[in-house]
Amino acid sequence: MKFDTPATTNPIDQLKVVGQPVDRVDGPLKTTGTAPYAYEHPVPDAAYGHVIGAAIAKGRITSMDLAQARAAPGVLAIVTADNAGKLEKGEHNTATLLGGPEIQHYHQAIALVVAETFEQARAAAHLVHVEYERGRGAFDLAAEKGSSIKPKPGIGGEADTAVGDFASAFAEAPVQLDATYTTPDQTHVMMEPHASIAKWDGDRLTVWTSNQMVAWGTKDLAKTLGIPKENVHLMSPYIGGGFGGKLFLRADVLLAALGARAAKRPVKVALQRALMINNTTHRPATIQRIRLGAAKDGRLTAIGHESWSGDLPGGEPETAVSQTRLLYAGANRMTSMRLAVLDLPEGNALRAPGEAPGMMALEIAMDEMAEKLGMDPVEFRLLNDTQVDPEHPKRPFSQRHLVECLRKGADHFGWAKRTARPGRSRKGRWLTGLGVAAAFCNNLLMKSAARVRLDHRGILTVETDMTDIGTGSYTVIAQTAAETMGLPLDKVVVRLGDSRFPVSCGSGGQWGGNNSSSGVYAACIKLRQAIAKKAGIDEDDAVFSDGHVTAGSKRMTLAELAGESGLAAEDQIEYGDLAERYQQSTFGAHFVEVAVDAFTGETHVRRMLAVCAAGRILNPKTARSQVIGAMTMGVGAALMEGLHVDKRRGFFVNHDLASYEVPVHADIPHQEVIFLDETDPVSSPLKAKGVGELGICGAAAAVANAIYNASGVRVRDYPVTLDKFIDRLPEAA
């Protein structure tokens, strides 16, 4: 089904099921512990694998003594690069998943010990003796910034863009800001570890794994092992969080497959937390320089944003300038991305890649510029709104309600009561302040397919390889199918995360809900056509409701039309050139109140508000859950999250949940989410967009701006920990 014009007669617009805050259909399974996650599938006779990670960040293995480990109780096999056979690199992998003899990064997997029990495998792994020749690596972004390179065009577009004459406009601007901001390396720390079970039947491989993109994982696993793609059956029905860390094939999947082949038994592999942080991907650190020039009336005349990040050879940059290309008006513009080659673990997607760290810098810069102009930060943003893509003025936004988000949020949050002068609102030892930031995240259109089957009981089964990473995919897909087919929700069964099913968009980049549901919609429309034809009625006259199809005086149940053999349809959503004709983005506004201890610098976030404009909200309950989760991650990014690099030995020191700090319940105050009542008929037949990542974009900056408003101390180096401003508090207080 091609979608390139707004739908006219659209069953989704009935809003009997879609748009309602229904409970998660998979909720009972998850709350009772009966939803099987990757490591929990009941596979008979499964052995256990323990992964050994490299103890150096750069260099080579000179020897590996396996004798003691092989002789240990219960050991069935040990897999290394020497006996794994020829392995290719998957399309989506920067690092080699099984290292040796060359080592590319710390905790790169170098061996898997397979034993009868997990404890035996772990004990034997400690008996493997490895000798290394340590090489000289690059681990410090600031030190390597000067030798960074211009990256090739990638998912974030061109490395450099320019409109007008930025240099001249900035030099001539009566009000200028030139500031540098830094964001640290961050890790996903999802609850469920990277885990897999692999089982061979002859030359056919079955894997149960925790993976956001089933089709990508299947293709890359087949390519890496050198076997036909049709010989790989990958299943990922339930995922305990991903945040982008499970977009791609990782070491657990590959080593489980290799271990099962070597042991001639099914094998379970789960990465321990330290290996999750150093072995898998992370959000790279950035150094960002932002220059803004404005007329005295507050209109931006020059916008410049440069970003530096690092990755392994062949990697891609953190696209931190992407939102600056689209968010504010300004005739003269310049953005630039540079990539330093670092020998740290692979840098890659983490919730709102590019936009989350980019907004952390841009939205502080906007606050700083508003202060220089003597303007209210909300009014400054309103003044510089644009309804067209600033770099391509002939391309309009499909919908852009940033102004409405800012105004509604300011009114609801009580922004007018804010004390404009920093450090002047105090109650006892607590300095209080309010902060604001715009929210922005692009809406990506991706082809997505599904299959639907209607049986003689009137039950509709939906099958697609779409995944649910805790976002509510099962629920919004069920709602879409129920609405389109005129069925109650309890007559819809959704099956996800299986490579035998039609290929969906998968989960990531907040593209999952809108695109996968649109693919289901397309399949349901095709099924409606088949039902109408069998009923002998005109499709345009058919009304699907309450498990029946009606046309004039003719009324039949879907169950009887399906008959004993049932009816099925398969289709996919395609968008034509919509992405070229319209800029599709989501918008919002974050408002935060904080209290800062005037003597210790301790910061408490007291309340948060997010106002979101993200098309039709398919399920307000699951969407709110996504946004408040993202806001919570924004608090973490603002106040505590950061991987600490040992710049001599090249690894992340705080590679566990004891030392990588994330917000807990006590850190998170009252959170409120308002969804604007908008639909976007250009985006999809559902008139929806993504929303899962919008909630993190700008949230950290709103916290940082509130800290400045409370204390009068500006921190440009995330996270905003008290050691970075405590020495300036006495004079501010």
3-class SS letters over 35-61: CCCHHHCCCCCCEEEEEEECCCCCEEE
* The Cα angle at residue 315 between residues 309 and 317, in degrees rounded to 5: 30
Buried b (16+ CB within 10 A) or exposed e, 114-124: bbbebebbebb
Name the one residue in this structure whose structure tokens are 């604007």: 676
pLDDT given at position 7: 46
Both structure tokens of 665: 């319940």
Q: Give 3-state DSSP helix, strand, coil % of the chain, rounded to 5.
A: 30, 30, 45
Residues 50 and 29 in one domain: no
Active-site annotation holds for 672: no
* Contacts for 233 with CB less than 8 Å, ≥ 6 apart: 204, 205, 206, 207, 498, 499, 500
Residues 502 and 536 in one domain: yes
Q: Do residues 352 and 693 touch, judged by C-beta distance below 8 A? A: yes
- Residues 25 and 132 occupy one common structural domain: no
Are 204 and 108 contained in the same domain?
A: yes
The Cα–Cα gap between 678 and 686 comes to 12
3-state SS assignment for residue 414:
coil
Same domain for 115 and 211, yes or no, is: yes
pLDDT for the residue numbered 156? 87
Cis peptide before 719 (omega within 30 of 0): yes
Number of domains in the chain: 3
* Residue at which a domain ends, from 279, 297, 330: 279
- What pLDDT, on the 0 to 100 scale, is given for residue 8? 47
> Is 405 a domain residue?
yes
Same domain assignment for residues 620 and 690: yes
Phi/psi region, residue 489 (left: phi>0; alpha: psi -120 to 50; beta: rest), is alpha
| Final residue of a structural domain among 540, 574, 608 | 574
**Residue type for position 141:** L
The rounded distance, in Å, linking the Cα atoms of 467 and 444 is 17
Q: 426 with 453, same domain?
A: no
Taking the mean position of all CA atoms in its chain, how far away is CA 368?
29
Adjacent-strand bridge partners of 60: 102, 133
Q: Which residues contact 529 (CB under 8 A, 6 or more apart)?
A: 539, 569
d(CA 516, CA 690): 11
Is 463 in the same domain as 373?
no
Rounded-to-integer distance, Cα 433 and Cα 414, Å: 12
Structure tokens at 377: 């930060």
Taking 70 as the pLDDT cut, the residues of the chain under it are 4-9, 730-733
**Within a domain: residue 314?**
no
Tokens 């309340």, located at residue: 607
Domain annotation covers residue 313: no
Please indicate, yes or no, if residue 115 is contained in any of the structural domains.
Answer: yes
- Interatomic CA distance for residues 16 and 7, integer angstroms: 18
> Are 590 and 479 contained in the same domain?
no
How far apart are alpha carbons 337 and 150 in whole angstroms? 7
Residue 142 counted as domain residue:
no
Cα–Cα distances (Å) from 222 to 194, 205, 216, 244, in that order, read: 19, 9, 10, 21
> Residue 651 sits in which domain range?
354-444+581-732
Q: Are 544 and 528 in contact (CB under 8 A)?
A: yes
Which CATH number covers residue 50? 3.30.365.10
Report the candidate in 585, 548, 681, 658 with the shortest Cα–Cα distance to residue 8: 681
Using left for φ > 0, alpha for ψ between -120 and 50, and beta otherwise, residue 309 falls in beta
Q: Which pLDDT score, from 0 to 100, does residue 83 have?
A: 98
Question: Can you read off the two tokens belonging to residue 204?
Answer: 């056919």
List strand residue ranges (DSSP E) for 364-515, in order. Answer: 388-389, 392-396, 426-427, 430-442, 448-454, 460-463, 492-495
Alpha carbons 148 and 289: distance in angstroms, whole number:
15
pLDDT tens by residue, 85-124: 999 999 888 889 999 999 999 999 999 999 999 999 999 9
End residue of a domain, out of 256, 279, 302? 279
Q: Is the peptide bond before 502 cis (omega within 30 degrees of 0)?
A: no
Give yes or no: residues 719 and 618 share one domain: yes
Q: Indicate whether 439 and 567 sit together in one domain.
A: no
Q: Say which DSSP state 246 is in.
A: T
Task: State how far the Cα of 210 lies from the Cα of 507, in Å rounded to an integer.
Answer: 12
Sheet strands side by side (includes 59-65):
102-103, 59-65, 129-134
Domain assignment present for 168: no
Sequence-distant (≥ 6) Cβ neighbours of residue 372 within 8 angstroms:
175, 176, 177
Q: How far apart are CA 452 and CA 458, in angstroms?
A: 12
The tokens describing 319, both together, are: 């696209």
CB 697 within 8 A of CB 323: yes
Length of the chain (residues):
733
What is the identity of the amino acid at 420?
A
Please report the pLDDT score of residue 730 as a whole number.
Answer: 67
H or E element that contains 597:
strand 585-597
Residues 439 and 461 grouped into a single domain = no
H or E element: which one contains 559?
A: helix 558-562
Query: CB under 8 Å to 516, separation ≥6 — which residues?
Result: 448, 450, 464, 466, 473, 477, 504, 505
From 363, 371, 483, 693, the catalytic residue: 693
Q: Is residue 378 part of a domain?
A: yes
Q: Give me the amino acid identity at 279.
A: N
For the chain, the maximum distance between any two Cα atoms, rounded to a whole number of angstroms, is: 83
The verdict on residue 470 lying in a domain is yes
